[in-house]
Structure 1
Amino acid sequence: MGKIVILDENTSNQIAAGEVVERPASVVKELVENSIDAGSTNISVEISNGGISFIKVVDNGSGIEEDDMEIAFERHSTSKIRKASDLEAITSLGFRGEALASIASVSTVEVTSRPAHREYGRYVKIQGGTLLESNQVGCPVGTTFIVRELFYNTPARFKFLKKDSTEAGYVSDIVSRIALGNPDISFRLISNRNTVIHTPGNNDLLSTIYSLYGKETAKECMEISYEDETIKITGYAGKPEIARANRNYQSIYLNRRYIKNKIISSAIDEAYKTYLMKSKFAFIVLYIELNPLLVDVNVHPTKMEVRFSREQDIFRAVYHAVNNALLSKTQIRNVSLADSPKNYFKFERSSKNEPGYVQQKMDTDRKFSGYNSGYSYDNFKIEKNHMLKEAWESIDVKDGAKVDNGKDEEINKSDIDRVKINKPIDNSINKPVNGFVNEQVNELVKEPVDEPVSKPIYETINKQIDEPVNKLIIKPEDISGKDCYDSCKSGYENKLTDIGNNPKDNRDDVDNNADMNSEEVKASENDKRPKKDAERNVFLDARIIGQVFSTYILLQNGEDLIVIDQHAAHERIRFEELKEKYAKNESLSQYLLAPAVIELTNQEISFIEEEKELLNKLGFIFESFGNNSIILRSVPIPDENVGIKEAFLAIVDFLMSKGKKYDRIIEEEALYKIACKSAVKANKKLDQIEIKGILEKLNMLENPYTCPHGRPTVIKITKHEFEKMFKRIV
């Protein structure tokens, strides 16, 4: 007896359902495409639990005839084609006749439909491929499909469904794609009684883009219009500013059918090749109208894969269409400055000519000492001291003050009041200190001081705050007047006497004192160095020459010229800092003074809500702000001048591309991206203090020689190589 049998119809339908119905989004796609083929102008989709337990699709199309209601659920039953030759010129979205039979075999389906010429409609209920109920009902024109308990009779398929929020994201994505391909139809998606998508249906593609992706994306789109003898291409191409880290924002339509095709994607990438950085992909919505005879859409049951008879012609046409759109408008990026905080000072432009910026050699050998003795100045405070002195030495601010600098320039004293006082600190001091005296010195120094303080003392008063503000006194090693007096009484009278006998404070004296204390300074610096070989301390031992192109730091170490990429070096520093804090579960967050509002798609909103714990751990703290937007309150980036929105979107795109399969490597790659976004950028001028800070931190790293992406942070050019280049050595 033979072993081969013909499977029953229900088994065949369940096998077919494995290809056609993969998840709830597949059901929504098939039902919505049927609604479009029926000529609907308004389609509503409602889901619960991601579409697993409940899907409802309502349209106002032509409806299903009463006699066709039951036969529509038979396998390979369709109204779209009649014979095999019709497959060569398919214009409808559906044609295979498998969808309804496959859906009904793995769920409970209820259908209510009425054509416009009928006074009543018909209701049909099918469960697991078996007809349970069929009768006449009163209903509006159009069709309503309700699908319940998807995969209830196929536990293996049900087991591999994702979380409800993930499945809802897939449904949102497919509805968005179909809506972009049909701007003349109004779409509404309701998930758990919340409307997440609603398009106007006014036949304006840009309005549909606006409703799905937000204002920022819509205003950065350029229109595409191209036509030749065989093909017509229209749509919108996004400017490089809105490029993303994956292809999820590329929507391609062939004769209004959403497709995925490597030939077209490659043509888009080639057109954007010189406009986008590596691993960035353009935002684009592309309509391709082609003779159906030149394309085969009957490749896969999902009908998303197609084959062209003239692939090279398609590639060439898409490339020129997109490239022409990019060339039609200037690609100079517009920078939108955020509202700046209230100006503390409002000066009119001076009539004097400002000197051009000249990059000067930075002196790294100069040391500072307090009172020309054993005390050492803090470099940062000394630099700030000199800057403040130069800025204010010609400004005498009084009540209702004006500054005469060619023009009257007003000072807003309500924010910051700078006081210049010309009076003795104490009765025992007969002359002002460089014209500046701290009003509070008498409170700090109760005992007379024999010698005048030889450095300017500044006071900053914030009058916007009612409570007392700490006074900023800049002097050697942040030592107060009382501390100076105590030091005098403790045995330093001789040093102060030496200062009194030789009060001259010029460069030579400072350098001499630096030489006197060089061993102490080197000893303190050595304490900061890691216990490594001597070569590792090259960053501290080398002399800083300066900065070139505002991007590279130049050092001289013996007969070697050392060049450091400031961005790559700081990126490595930031990554190691972030990785250490992340491993210790320390907060990476830096709260924003002005929280940022970011518009996202419904799928992105669902994703970040599901992965909120991971994003919070990475330093991104946010809250829902309604209408598919969030308010970002904290980021792991200390500089608010960095693109906060771009950094957040890059991390979200990266995590979404990994399919939620996180491990230590994935998390480190996320930290790479955060470090890159927060690092010092190229073309930024750094002062001596900032350069020294980078070098000290770089010296402490285990691997300071490459950035997290593998690019070198430092290179070395020997004197021998220079002599070879100049032919001193042949």
Structure 2
Amino acid sequence: MTDKACDMNSSRIRLLDESTINKIAAGEVIERPASVVKELIENSIDAHATDVRVEIGGYGTKSMLIVDNGIGMSHTDASIAFKKHATSKINRIEDLDSILTMGFRGEALASIASVAKVELVTRQESELEGTKVVVDSSGIRSITSAGTAVGTSILVNDLFYSTPARKKYLKSARTEIAHIVDVVSRNCLAHPDVSFTLIIDGKVTLRSPSSVKMLDSIVHLYGADVARSLVPLEYDSDLISISGYISKPELTRSGKDLQVFLINGRPIFSKQLSNAVRLGYYTLLPKGRYPAAFLNFTINPVNVDVNVHPAKREVRLSHEKEISVMIVSAVEKALARDSLVPEVQLNKKDVPVQSRLNVREPERPSSSSSSEISNAYKATGSVRLPASTEVPEQDGSGSAVSSRSQVPVPSTASSDGYQAVSNSETTAPIIIPDSSSDEISRKNVIKEEKEPYQYPAKDTQRRLKKSERLQMSVTLDEVAELNASFTPSDVKVYGQYADLYIISDMDGKLILIDQHAAHERIMYEQVLRMQDLGWQELITPVTLDLSQKEKAIIEEFIPQLEEMGFSVSEFGPKSYVVTTVPSIFGKLENTDVIHDIISDLLSVGRVKEDTERYDLLCSTMACRAAIKAGAVCNTKQMEELIRQLMLCNNPYTCPHGRPTMISFTMDELAKLFKRTG
């Protein structure tokens, strides 16, 4: 027999050793420091604890200590607690049909010990002294007696020391801390009768006193502003009971950060539940926005399969379709019972003072004319552009804009309560709010006649190539054939449909343009090309109430926010104050854009390149600053919007990859009307 034949007959399948098996299994349960906190908090809840303290050192990889006042463990139980599949929750497979405890798999402690160094100290009330167990990836190191109070404390040191490759997949310290805060926050809502304390590097980050009311926990964790925008939701049927709160349509986020779903008291993530909640809002929400929802679903355990994922983050429901229909109905009824008209509280300084501004037109077109469209729109809901195609560089909100150009002008009273740009031979009026009614200061407003800043071609080209690579998921070959040297005479505008789509004729083709997507593209490329975005100071600083999770990460991203023109500083234990905003916003009507940017930055994390993070910031800002669907435009405004769009490097999609326009040739129209054979 040859050597080759011997090799073929030798066994290539081997049994893994127990240590390797445990490390592989731990990868499914322990993904990051927050996973450890989640598993140990669940153990504390199952032990009937009413007080849980979590202490974090070095964003969790250095140390994590979880202390509770639960029933504790006996010496015998503590000795076997770290064995694989050792659990007090179930005895047989049928018990899975009636699971009401947080844990049941018996994997948490074994998985943690396989990737970290662990010390457990516990005592139950019937014993005079407690038990201390020291364990690491090699197994139990010692079991000794220890003096301790009733309950359990678990110290986890040097996470992933035995699997160092896992550390490279962790994100920044702030991001990992944010995930820990999120885990604790969700458990605060799930168990309002339990007092939670989170201490990070010796500083109390979160303290949630025990309460029987979920709303009290929401106020504490997410702030009074969020709580004020909530409406109660109650629903009961034979299949499901729902209790909690959802937001009025005025409170939304770009992500699902304000959604917490509990099934029988267990925090879970469910795309199905989230979709059903959003469907209940029907057309009340803008596309891509998500409402706040803090809901507890009580369902017969027989209809809930919690044994789907080792980390128990997901569940499978019986009667999914019926439950979804019930959720939609419950949301609709909750919204119908409450007034959905946003309440506005005005101070005296918010009341417009009538005045008139005279602004002279620059000699040359300005690259920032798109901001004028946005700012004028934000002021009145409509915009009047200059009769010529040259748009003056002027901030429509009367704000003080650094690195921007304006002339100081006297103000006179106007009859409509707004500042109006006076008519001249070349300039049509643009209606903008009086600066005294705006949040923006007019100090240091000056006019500088200078050439636009020319950025290094290499840097601009690098950014645009990067963004184009991200966005060309939609291609419009027929639109791409349009003449790059487009001039206003090339376009014929027929009108506006549904206050959203511009109907036009370019190069013999019928073109439909999404005005929001088009303006978003214009604003996006403008921001990318500007090294200094400019900022404007708010007369009245805006208070930003952050959730505990957002507060945990904002410090990391303050430098990026400052680069964009935001000035954000800490203001009390739960709030930050915004004193400046990017000039393209005109005025800061609400703080949603900052919440969206924080959410975007959190989702990007440390693994992305800085250029991608910058592009993400730019696209978010452009989206929020662009004119929206429902803005009425006249012919000159539509022509100007198209002119600016066709000067973009990529006029065919918005920054998120959606088309800005679609075209129909005469032949295609003829086919649609069956005019050809």
How far off its partner does 1:30 sit? 0.9
The equivalent residue for 1:16 is 25
The equivalent residue for 1:594 is 540
Q: Does residue 273 of the first structure (1) align with residue 282 of the second (2)?
A: yes
How far off its partner does 1:535 sit? 8.3
The equivalent residue for 1:142 is 151
How far off its partner does 1:46 sit? 0.6
The equivalent residue for 1:130 is 139
- In 2 relative to 1, CA 665–130 (structure 1 residues): closer, same or farther, beyond 3 Å? closer
Specify the structure having the higher radius of gyration (Cα). 1
How many residues are paired up?
550
User: Hey, what's the Cα distance between the residues in 2 that align with 1:222 and 1:679?
Assistant: 30
User: Hey, what's the Cα distance between the residues in 1 that align with 2:626 and 2:80?
Assistant: 65
Q: Secondary structure at the match of 1:111?
A: strand
Q: Does residue 577 of the first structure (1) align with residue 586 of the second (2)?
A: no
Query: Pick from 337, 342, 345: which aligns with 1:333?
Result: 342
User: Hey, what's the Cα distance between the residues in 2 that align with 1:546 and 1:364?
Assistant: 17
The equivalent residue for 1:726 is none
- In 2 relative to 1, CA 553–5 (structure 1 residues): closer, same or farther, beyond 3 Å? closer
The equivalent residue for 2:377 is none
How far off its partner does 1:117 sit? 3.0
Query: Pick from 575, 580, 583: which aligns with 1:637?
Result: 583
The equivalent residue for 2:471 is none
Q: Secondary structure at the match of 1:274?
A: helix
The equivalent residue for 1:656 is 602
The equivalent residue for 2:617 is 670
Q: Secondary structure at the match of 1:188?
A: strand
The equivalent residue for 1:317 is 326
Matched AA of 1:20: V
Contact 2:222 2:548 in 1 (8 A): no
- In 2 relative to 1, CA 552–578 (structure 1 residues): closer, same or farther, beyond 3 Å? same
Q: Secondary structure at the match of 1:28?
A: helix
How far off its partner does 1:3 sit? 7.2
How far off its partner does 1:226 sit? 0.7
User: Hey, what's the Cα distance between the residues in 1 that align with 2:518 and 2:21?
Assistant: 62
The equivalent residue for 1:619 is 565
Matched AA of 2:172: K
Q: State the percentage of identical aligned residues.
A: 36
Contact 2:253 2:291 in 1 (8 A): yes
Where does the alignment leave 5 or more consecutive residues of structure 1 unmatched? 347-356, 366-380, 392-468, 473-531, 722-730
How far off its partner does 1:100 sit? 1.0
Q: Secondary structure at the match of 2:278?
A: helix
- In 2 relative to 1, CA 226–108 (structure 1 residues): closer, same or farther, beyond 3 Å? same
The equivalent residue for 1:101 is 110
The equivalent residue for 2:101 is 92
Q: Secondary structure at the match of 1:207?
A: helix
Matched AA of 1:234: S
How far off its partner does 1:333 sit? 2.2
How far off its partner does 1:41 sit? 0.8
How far off its partner does 1:390 sit? 8.3
Q: Secondary structure at the match of 2:282?
A: coil
User: Hey, what's the Cα distance between the residues in 1 that align with 2:20 and 2:483?
Assistant: 73
The equivalent residue for 1:286 is 295
How far off its partner does 1:534 sit? 12
- In 2 relative to 1, CA 121–638 (structure 1 residues): closer, same or farther, beyond 3 Å? same
Contact 1:706 1:714 in 2 (8 A): no
Contact 1:46 1:189 in 2 (8 A): yes
Q: Secondary structure at the match of 2:91?
A: coil
The equivalent residue for 1:121 is 130
- 1:236-385 matches, cutoff 5 A: 236-337=245-346, 340=349
Q: Secondary structure at the match of 2:216?
A: helix
How far off its partner does 1:2 sit? 7.1
Query: Pick from 51, 65, 71: which aligns with 2:60?
Result: 51
Matched AA of 2:578: L
User: Hey, what's the Cα distance between the residues in 1 that align with 2:177 and 2:89?
Assistant: 30
User: Hey, what's the Cα distance between the residues in 2 that align with 1:4 and 1:556?
Assistant: 69
How far off its partner does 1:110 sit? 1.2
User: Hey, what's the Cα distance between the residues in 2 that align with 1:7 and 1:388?
Assistant: 84
Where does the alignment leave 5 or more consecutive residues of structure 2 unmatched? 1-9, 356-379, 389-405, 416-442, 447-481, 670-677
User: Hey, what's the Cα distance between the residues in 2 that align with 1:77 and 1:390?
Assistant: 79
Matched AA of 2:62: S
- 1:211-230 matches, cutoff 5 A: 211-230=220-239
The equivalent residue for 1:438 is none
Matched AA of 1:87: L
How far off its partner does 1:622 sit? 1.6
- 1:143-542 matches, cutoff 5 A: 143-337=152-346, 340=349, 388=412, 536-538=486-488
Q: Which range moves more in the overlay, 273-282 or 560-569?
A: 560-569
The equivalent residue for 1:610 is 556
- In 2 relative to 1, CA 184–691 (structure 1 residues): closer, same or farther, beyond 3 Å? same
Contact 1:47 1:54 in 2 (8 A): yes
- In 2 relative to 1, CA 326–133 (structure 1 residues): closer, same or farther, beyond 3 Å? same
How far off its partner does 1:363 sit? 11
- In 2 relative to 1, CA 595–135 (structure 1 residues): closer, same or farther, beyond 3 Å? same
- In 2 relative to 1, CA 680–85 (structure 1 residues): closer, same or farther, beyond 3 Å? closer
User: Hey, what's the Cα distance between the residues in 2 that align with 1:239 and 1:84?
Assistant: 43
User: Hey, what's the Cα distance between the residues in 2 that align with 1:34 and 1:68?
Assistant: 14
Matched AA of 1:75: K
User: Hey, what's the Cα distance between the residues in 2 that align with 1:5 and 1:556?
Assistant: 70
The equivalent residue for 1:28 is 37
- In 2 relative to 1, CA 594–96 (structure 1 residues): closer, same or farther, beyond 3 Å? same
User: Hey, what's the Cα distance between the residues in 1 that align with 2:496 and 2:14?
Assistant: 81
User: Hey, what's the Cα distance between the residues in 2 that align with 1:166 and 1:285?
Assistant: 23
Post-superposition Cα deviations, 1:258-311, rounded to whole Å, max 9, x if no partner, equal 122333233222212322111111211121111111222112211122222322
How far off its partner does 1:627 sit? 2.0
User: Hey, what's the Cα distance between the residues in 2 that align with 1:213 and 1:638?
Assistant: 29
- 1:41-80 matches, cutoff 5 A: 41-80=50-89
Contact 2:491 2:639 in 1 (8 A): no
- In 2 relative to 1, CA 590–695 (structure 1 residues): closer, same or farther, beyond 3 Å? farther
Contact 1:590 1:638 in 2 (8 A): no
The two structures have a TM-score, normalised by structure 2, of 0.70
The equivalent residue for 2:422 is none
Does 1 or 2 have the higher relative contact order (CA < 8 Å, sep 6+)? Answer: 2
Q: Secondary structure at the match of 1:73?
A: coil
Post-superposition Cα deviations, 1:96-122, rounded to whole Å, max 9, x if no partner, equal 111112212222211222222333322
**Pairwise CA RMSD:** 4.5
Contact 2:252 2:289 in 1 (8 A): yes
Contact 1:186 1:200 in 2 (8 A): yes
- In 2 relative to 1, CA 673–107 (structure 1 residues): closer, same or farther, beyond 3 Å? closer
User: Hey, what's the Cα distance between the residues in 2 that align with 1:320 and 1:389?
Assistant: 52
Contact 1:106 1:129 in 2 (8 A): no
Q: Secondary structure at the match of 2:81?
A: helix
Contact 1:45 1:188 in 2 (8 A): yes
How far off its partner does 1:670 sit? 3.1
User: Hey, what's the Cα distance between the residues in 1 that align with 2:288 and 2:386?
Assistant: 41
The equivalent residue for 1:528 is none
Contact 2:581 2:588 in 1 (8 A): no
Q: Secondary structure at the match of 1:241?
A: coil
- In 2 relative to 1, CA 715–58 (structure 1 residues): closer, same or farther, beyond 3 Å? same
The two structures have a TM-score, normalised by structure 1, of 0.65
Matched AA of 1:648: I
How far off its partner does 1:216 sit? 0.7
Q: Secondary structure at the match of 2:326?
A: helix
